[in-house]
Structure 1
Amino acid sequence: MGIKSFMGRRSEVKEDKREAIRVKDYMKRKLITFSIDQSINEVMEIILKQRITGGPVTDDNGNLIGIISDTDLMQVIGDSRYHNMPVGDRTVGDLMSTQVATIDAEADIFDAAGRFLKSGHRRFPVTENGKLIGQISRMDVIIAATNLKKNHWR
């Protein structure tokens, strides 16, 4: 009598039929950007007028070279009071962060949410070959999740 092999019923692999929601589907493409030589006073006026908390800094070719935020502006405002340094003499290049965390346009929106949680950032620039192509914010991720809930979550 030979040994018989018995394979139980195989479970079917269930595939998620939902199409992935990508950063590129919700990122903003028309951005307010800043240049390295812009004055801090001008940046403050733009931030107030546009009701934003900062923005990417690009060179003349559209390459991302930094980011300027309201936190950077708080630093210069504090310095001007305690060190008697006028705010108007400072430029974006003096204050911007050059270590900029970016996110890929093809990243899943859930990955973006995780990165926001881990990093504490409010926005991630999206680049392609060093060029700025968009930006995704926490609010954009919330919008994506709300749209996903309407279409998929039950």
Structure 2
Amino acid sequence: MSQQVHSLLPATPIPEGIHQLLTGQYSEMPIVNKSGEYCGMFSEKCCVKILSYLADLIDVKQHTSFRAADVMIPRHKLFMLNPEHDVISAISALLEKKYTGAPVVDSQGRCLGVFSERTCLGYVIEAIYSRVPSAQVQEFTDSDSNRLIDLETGLQKILSIFDETFYGRLPVIQNDEIAGQVSRRDVLKHSTILSNIMQSRLNAPHIDVGIPEVRTADYSKAHDTFLNHPVSVFTEENSYTIGPEMSLLSVAQLFFDSPHRRFPVVEAGKLIGLVDRCDVLRSAIKLFK
């Protein structure tokens, strides 16, 4: 576990919480009170809920100008895997590049699914139990077609998928081939999204995700929701905690069964560290080698 933990206070305003999450490149940040007691987790998924709530609050319709094509990372910039790629090599590559996952694409350019930290953990668990010496990426690829979107997919559909599933990335498909990818972070960091929402309905000035400026009386609801509420209002529900003595395999299984990328390590009610998926995968790779 890491003992150097960046946390938020329960009273941290939502904009500051989002700002720290994005600028610090964190997927989740623990909320800890002044006594050091763990109070919950503020995550990218919480931010998606906030953005989705704002979109509903100010009545943004499906015909909003935002499209997946506006925010996706195009294919030529993506790190992709082929289905025959060795799992250990693929996991090592993800860890080295600090990616949480990659689309799996066949020789015709068709997206077969996503190989992610979570599916990596599926391999780790099976390898430990069954002593599997090696395997191919295709055996541990999440091929759920419900995560596939196209160039014209709108903001609300994307937010709905991210909100209702544990997916952190959505492949963008055009003519049955992969055209790009949209991640939760891409959506949250694309500052024009919030400005489009506010400007199209409320004639607002440009709004940046990190430092929003909501000033006119026309959108007092959005003002109250976004600026005045603390992060504790949107704390991640069903947040898991683990103890310092939990085994590597147990932690891997818990990660596999949950949408979380980081677990707070709590002792006597107080936060003493964090373990993330990468920590588990690095340890597993060392054991396999």
Query: Is this a same-fold pair by TM over 0.5?
Result: yes
Q: Which residue of 1 aligns with 2:229?
A: none
Aligned counterpart for 1:133 among listed residues 179, 201, 209: 179
Which letter maps to 2:73?
Answer: K
Shift of 1:99: 2.5
The answer on whether the counterparts of 2:119 and 2:140 sit within 8 Å (CA) in structure 1 is yes
| Matched position secondary structure for 2:104 | strand
SS in 2 for 1:61: coil
Shift of 1:105: 1.0
Query: Is the 2:171–2:178 Cα contact (8 Å) retained in structure 1?
Result: yes
Secondary structure at the aligned position of 1:97 is classed as: coil
Distance in 2 of aligned mates of 1:94 and 1:114? 28
Q: Which residue of 1 aligns with 2:88?
A: 41
Instruction: State the distance in 1 between where 2:111 and 2:121 align.
Output: 22
Identify the residue that residue 189 of structure 2 maps to in structure 1: 143
Provide, for residues 29-62 of structure 1, a one-character-per-residue CA deviation record: whole Å limited to 9, x for no partner.
1211110110011101110111111111111121
Question: How far does the alpha carbon of each residue in 1:117-153 deviate from its partner, in whole angstroms, 9 at most, with x for none?
Answer: 0122111100011100000000111123x32334634
Structure 1 portions without partners, runs of 5+: 1-15
1:4-153 matches, cutoff 5 A: 20-29=65-74, 30-86=77-133, 89-100=134-145, 101-144=147-190, 146-150=191-195, 152=199, 153=204
User: Counterparts of 1:84 and 1:76 in 2: how far apart (Å)?
Assistant: 10
The unaligned stretches of length 5 or more in structure 2 are 1-60, 205-213, 215-289
Partner of 2:223: none
What SS class does the counterpart of residue 55 from structure 1 fall into? strand
Q: CA RMSD in A?
A: 2.0
Code of the aligned partner of 1:139: R
Return the offset for 1:107: 1.5
Q: What is the rounded CA distance, in whole Å, between the counterparts of 1:99 and 1:149 in structure 2?
A: 29
Q: TM (normalized to structure 2)?
A: 0.44
Cross-structure match for 2:281: none
Q: Distance between the aligned counterparts of 2:84 and 2:119, measured in 1?
A: 15
In the alignment, what sits opposite 1:11? none
In the TM superposition, residue 19 of structure 1 has moved relative to its aligned partner by 6.2
Instruction: Determine if contact 2:187/2:193 at 8 Å carries over to the other structure.
Output: no
The alpha-carbon deviation at position 115 of structure 1 amounts to: 1.7
Q: 1:84 to 1:126 in 2, by over 3 A?
A: same
Quote the Cα distance in structure 1 between the aligned partners of 2:194 and 2:163: 20
Percent identical: 24
Task: Please identify the structure whose Cα radius of gyration is greater.
Answer: 1
Query: 1 CA distance for matches of 2:194 and 2:174?
Result: 29
Change in Cα spacing, 1:85 to 1:143, as seen in structure 2 (3 Å) is same
Secondary structure of the 1:68 match is: strand
TM-score by length of 1: 0.79
In structure 1, distance between residues paired with 2:68 and 2:195: 18
Name the SS of the counterpart of 1:57 in structure 2: strand
